[in-house]
Structure 1
């Protein structure tokens, strides 16, 4: 019995302070020898009391390089001893705390003059002032320079021997950060920003493979969405070419899972051939919207097929028992990146022996002797579909079915679920089955995530729900507006108005990401559209749907505050630029007895509202009434 007690004590003592977390990412680190703390006062008080530096590591559960750094460094007893002796170590799940992540990504960007990533490594003074930042670090000295061990020992030595020097560096950076924020001034919007966007597309776009020039390549959904708006306004053929090339190359490339559907997070090469194999919910919500919008204009069936396959994969594999959507799946399975998704030449050749056109099928799926990913093949599409394409696809699915699917982070995030709801409502314009899923998801999201106030996320324990952030309000308001437009159920518009008014709690002299108002919201669209950009569009839409100058003024204030970015870098701040274009070119609301999404528009800024057939209005007046939609829209085409 005594032996059993000692054994149990030994087992429990192995776990660190992350053991009670609800975050899948933090739980992955609960048995590390590093004495990790979650972000919170307990860790900060310990750092101050013991005068220890803070080692902050930010990542997420499906991040490949986060897992590599864990295996190499955080499971390493020697490195763990250094961290435990000289530092207070804090782990943050960037999906659970995107406000914290956003702040420290900006710290990294200002220190290095380039974008950061994950894992993000920050070292701070005991009073939380950062002075060192990095992304992935190898455990030991290599040809790239010092490893984590050497860096930790060197900084700890400096802190013991000359703490004032480190404090000065941290204070100087803090001052630089504050001054940097105040440099950007409000600007009136230049009416010629369309010309600026066209120039930036011409300069920055890859007209061979699509996307922004260079590698790695990210889908940049909000940029593509803005470009569709610009094309609808200008009919510029170069914009059309850029969109066609990008969306076709992605649809046929390795960034799209050609076997089961769904987009991976990004491509490591410039041709969209070799992806990083994570599947994120936000990509697979926002990209289908872009593809379906472009399908409406081009009628290319490839775009609708890709959108539907992405949504169907999310519905099949990424939902819980309540119908809410999980956040992401890992790039690795069984400890190997891409193992679930790729094929050897021989296994496919052997499996395709049942077909009389095996070589044609091998060529169609891009299966080659030496592969395109570590000697194996990540399928890419070439040429027209063979007559037995579907049968071959089932064979490739069967091969995968014998493998272990990558880890899925089962965390439910309000903002990301709202993105998926918007995508499903968009898809319902082409297949009504998606509306049922959209409504069920939205109603359940409101039931679980709104209890007197809105919440951001939870994994398995609803009692551990995290406080909502500005992005949750912005994206959920958008989803509710989409729901109202597609159903004319007033309860959705009423709830959108309720949340819009509640969102003002994030506003002081500027907008903040969190209710504590200690991390400012910004305009940059990084992994997805910025909360401020989305919110400005929400306010503009609500101004039209409610005929409200209050909402209009809120939208215009956000737009003006972002004027510097809109005027100078519109293609790279697309969500707030979209709101500015609504203000310049006008958004209209059309009343009708029922939603008419089968009517084809060639103007991007049209809203639907329940009313008599048909009347077109702006925020302060109605312009025209007609029994014919064609006649009604003549003036804005």
Structure 2
């Protein structure tokens, strides 16, 4: 027997297709039944790689007794938060307002038939433990309260809905603060949260928080020693620790400890796309060869395990395999010793921490880079010069051994926003490290998104089973616009510029709050439950509002398009209060504020293809996050008038900052002099 989820495209929903629960996907059929029968809605939101989602499913959603309660009393709706971030965003916030606790997944929220939340939480165990009620008991209590105290439930739900609705107006509009003071206040606050022993912010669990790291990179690029220290220590600690897969490449979602040693074992595309960007920026500030190793291994992992045959990247790898979290990645010391030849064994054990006590629940090892190869070789009395090559040989051997294990589940849907984060990372890393093949991979990803997800002038959020579905959100448009602007700097293609303008126009036409400023998460023709959100704070991914404002500023200056600049300025005013009072929570908006008040140098360089390569080589040492530089070959067609400039074959450059432009120069050395 299977329920209505058997026909869903989402791998997460299909995981629940055989539950005895009468699940519905979110849609009019379920919502109409709730209204007609005056039933409460049990809304369960999760995603395919979520460990505790699997636990709750195994404990409760496969239990016939609990399923009978759910089916008799509720309309049960299962949602993939990666397909419907709009639903997740609203009901996560509602859960936090109701419980005054952090959100997470699985998210369990109870709604009235008019979709207003009246009770919620995250994971609930089958039987009472962890200070939580058993799920079956909770269901009975919810039904009793709903039917016996219905007026109170409705009043509470209405009040919460009104509180959420007030957020539609955005935050307190105000004149944005001045960049230097706002940046210093945020940097001081970050310094108070910085873990000077292990790197990163706060204690366990410890997340990468890439938007904050990008703010630190900006500070470091402006000569701030504290910003460089915090960024460098964090990047090195993540690369050497268990957050990074030392054998197969790629980063896990977060560390359960403060030392970056033991991760939660999901691998999410959105994390890894952002990691490409921040390690590229970090390398431009401090050329640590470790960053090169991390980038090469991560791109190899993306190509090998995450790229679809048609292009684009899959969403996630599960934390679990063979019924155990981390099973695919954990080692017994005897297995490592048996896999390696004697000349590699001692070095590998020393470098990856296997000469120490087991670090995973006292029974297994999760590998981390405990010692550098040369130092380990010296301690062992071995040749230092070949240590790195020998460790790579050991890595390759363990990789082949590990490949024989049961593999984690793959969520093979392709999400526009997460692919855009990865596209940007590939483009930025490609030009930072001089890796043209990475830029080509970024271009192929852009072509996939344009061909599959841009249809009849509209962007879609998801591609699965040869079809695009779910109209795209703010993040999809903003992240892709930012990524295309990065790609244009790696290699200028006119189709990428046209696509960028289409996305910018869609932001203004469908998402912008023309009255109060800023951008709603959903388009004006997308039905929104309870309210249209206008998010400002960065989470695991940057806020779409911050990225949209950043990208519109850059595109507006490149094309001399006042509409884009005006929309960005109005957006910063919409979040002026947040920038003044809560800078630590809005690092992407802080970066946008800086570029609004201190515009980046924007450079247009034209000439023959041969000359442009010479110009690019001379200018390649510039920090990539602090400029916009496009190289456009003579003879390119269909350019907007502002880019259609006459240049000699040997090349000519135009430099502008904001609305101020200097006279053109005819050599890269002259351009460097102007920049300095």
Tell me which interval the TM-score lies in, with the shorter structure as reference length: over 0.9
SS at the partner of 1:208? coil
Q: Structure 2 CA distance, aligned partners of 1:553 and 1:140?
A: 56
Q: CA deviation at 1:181?
A: 5.8
**Partner residue in 2 for 1:485:** 489
Q: Structure 1 residues 59 and 555, CA, compared in 2 at 3 Å: closer, same or farther?
A: same
Mapping of residues 449-468 of structure 1, within 5 Å: 449-452=453-456, 453-462=458-467, 465-468=469-472
Query: RMSD over aligned Cα, in angstroms?
Result: 1.8
Q: Deviations over 1:296-332 (max 9, x none)?
A: 1211111122122112101111011102110000000
TM-score of the two chains, using structure 2 as the length reference: 0.89
Q: Structure 1 CA distance, aligned partners of 2:131 and 2:355?
A: 34
CA contact (8 A) 1:289 1:307 kept: no
Mean CA deviation greater in 557-566 or 34-43: 557-566
Answering whether residue 177 of structure 2 is matched by residue 173 of structure 1, we say no
Q: CA deviation at 1:170?
A: 1.0
The alignment of Structure 1 onto Structure 2 pairs a total of residues equal to 621
SS at the partner of 2:195? coil
**Partner residue in 1 for 2:605:** 592
Mean CA deviation greater in 66-75 or 217-226: 217-226
CA contact (8 A) 2:276 2:422 kept: no
CA contact (8 A) 2:174 2:573 kept: yes
CA contact (8 A) 2:170 2:574 kept: no
Q: Structure 1 residues 106 and 143, CA, compared in 2 at 3 Å: closer, same or farther?
A: closer
SS at the partner of 1:356? helix
SS at the partner of 1:132? strand
Mapping of residues 324-343 of structure 1, within 5 Å: 324-343=312-331
Q: CA deviation at 1:399?
A: 2.0
SS at the partner of 2:662? strand
Answering whether residue 670 of structure 2 is matched by residue 615 of structure 1, we say no
Answering whether residue 192 of structure 2 is matched by residue 203 of structure 1, we say yes
Residue 213 of structure 1, aligned match among 184, 191, 202: 202
SS at the partner of 1:514? coil
CA contact (8 A) 1:82 1:153 kept: yes
Q: CA deviation at 1:461?
A: 4.0
Q: Structure 2 CA distance, aligned partners of 1:470 and 1:198?
A: 28
CA contact (8 A) 1:308 1:427 kept: no
CA contact (8 A) 2:12 2:80 kept: yes
**Partner residue in 1 for 2:640:** none
Q: Structure 1 CA distance, aligned partners of 2:570 and 2:247?
A: 46
Residue 594 of structure 2, aligned match among 581, 584, 590: 581
Q: Structure 2 CA distance, aligned partners of 1:373 and 1:472?
A: 37
Q: Deviations over 1:612-636 (max 9, x none)?
A: 4222113433124333445445565
**Partner residue in 1 for 2:429:** 427
Q: CA deviation at 1:409?
A: 0.2
Q: Structure 1 CA distance, aligned partners of 2:668 and 2:536?
A: 36
Q: Structure 2 CA distance, aligned partners of 1:487 and 1:601?
A: 16
CA contact (8 A) 1:227 1:239 kept: yes
Q: Structure 2 CA distance, aligned partners of 1:181 and 1:230?
A: 32
Q: Structure 1 residues 635 and 436, CA, compared in 2 at 3 Å: closer, same or farther?
A: closer
Q: Structure 1 residues 67 and 103, CA, compared in 2 at 3 Å: closer, same or farther?
A: same
Mean CA deviation greater in 469-478 or 356-365: 356-365
**Partner residue in 1 for 2:393:** 391
Mapping of residues 187-586 of structure 1, within 5 Å: 187-191=174-178, 192-233=181-222, 235-352=223-340, 354-356=341-343, 358-368=345-355, 370-374=357-361, 375-385=363-373, 386=377, 387=387, 388-429=390-431, 430=433, 431-452=435-456, 453-462=458-467, 465-503=469-507, 504-508=509-513, 509=515, 511-515=519-523, 516=526, 518=528, 519-586=532-599
User: Which sections of structure 2, spanning at least 5 residues, go unmatched?
Assistant: 378-386, 607-611, 633-644
Q: Structure 1 residues 536 and 317, CA, compared in 2 at 3 Å: closer, same or farther?
A: same
SS at the partner of 1:121? strand
Q: Structure 1 residues 603 and 434, CA, compared in 2 at 3 Å: closer, same or farther?
A: closer
Residue 162 of structure 1, aligned match among 125, 136, 149: 149
Larger RCO: Structure 1 or Structure 2 (Cα < 8 Å, ≥ 6 residues apart)?
2
Residue 105 of structure 1, aligned match among 79, 82, 92: 92
Q: Structure 1 residues 181 and 492, CA, compared in 2 at 3 Å: closer, same or farther?
A: closer
Q: CA deviation at 1:127?
A: 1.3
Answering whether residue 627 of structure 2 is matched by residue 606 of structure 1, we say yes
SS at the partner of 1:82? helix
Q: Deviations over 1:568-597 (max 9, x none)?
A: 222321111111110122222112123727
**Partner residue in 1 for 2:641:** none
Q: Structure 1 CA distance, aligned partners of 2:132 and 2:483?
A: 47
CA contact (8 A) 1:617 1:624 kept: no
SS at the partner of 1:150? helix
Answering whether residue 123 of structure 2 is matched by residue 136 of structure 1, we say yes
Q: Deviations over 1:408-430 (max 9, x none)?
A: 10001111111211112122212
Q: Structure 1 CA distance, aligned partners of 2:598 and 2:667?
A: 23
SS at the partner of 1:199? helix
Q: Deviations over 1:501-543 (max 9, x none)?
A: 1222122445222222632231111120111111111100111
**Partner residue in 2 for 1:185:** 172
CA contact (8 A) 1:323 1:441 kept: yes
Q: Structure 1 CA distance, aligned partners of 2:278 and 2:426?
A: 12
Answering whether residue 59 of structure 2 is matched by residue 57 of structure 1, we say no
SS at the partner of 2:479? helix
Q: Deviations over 1:270-319 (max 9, x none)?
A: 11100011111111111111101111121111112212211210111101
Q: Structure 2 CA distance, aligned partners of 1:602 and 1:447?
A: 32
CA contact (8 A) 1:131 1:166 kept: yes
TM-score of the two chains, using structure 1 as the length reference: 0.94
Q: CA deviation at 1:491?
A: 2.1
Q: CA deviation at 1:165?
A: 1.7
Q: Structure 2 CA distance, aligned partners of 1:143 and 1:356?
A: 48
Q: Structure 1 residues 628 and 266, CA, compared in 2 at 3 Å: closer, same or farther?
A: same
CA contact (8 A) 1:329 1:406 kept: yes
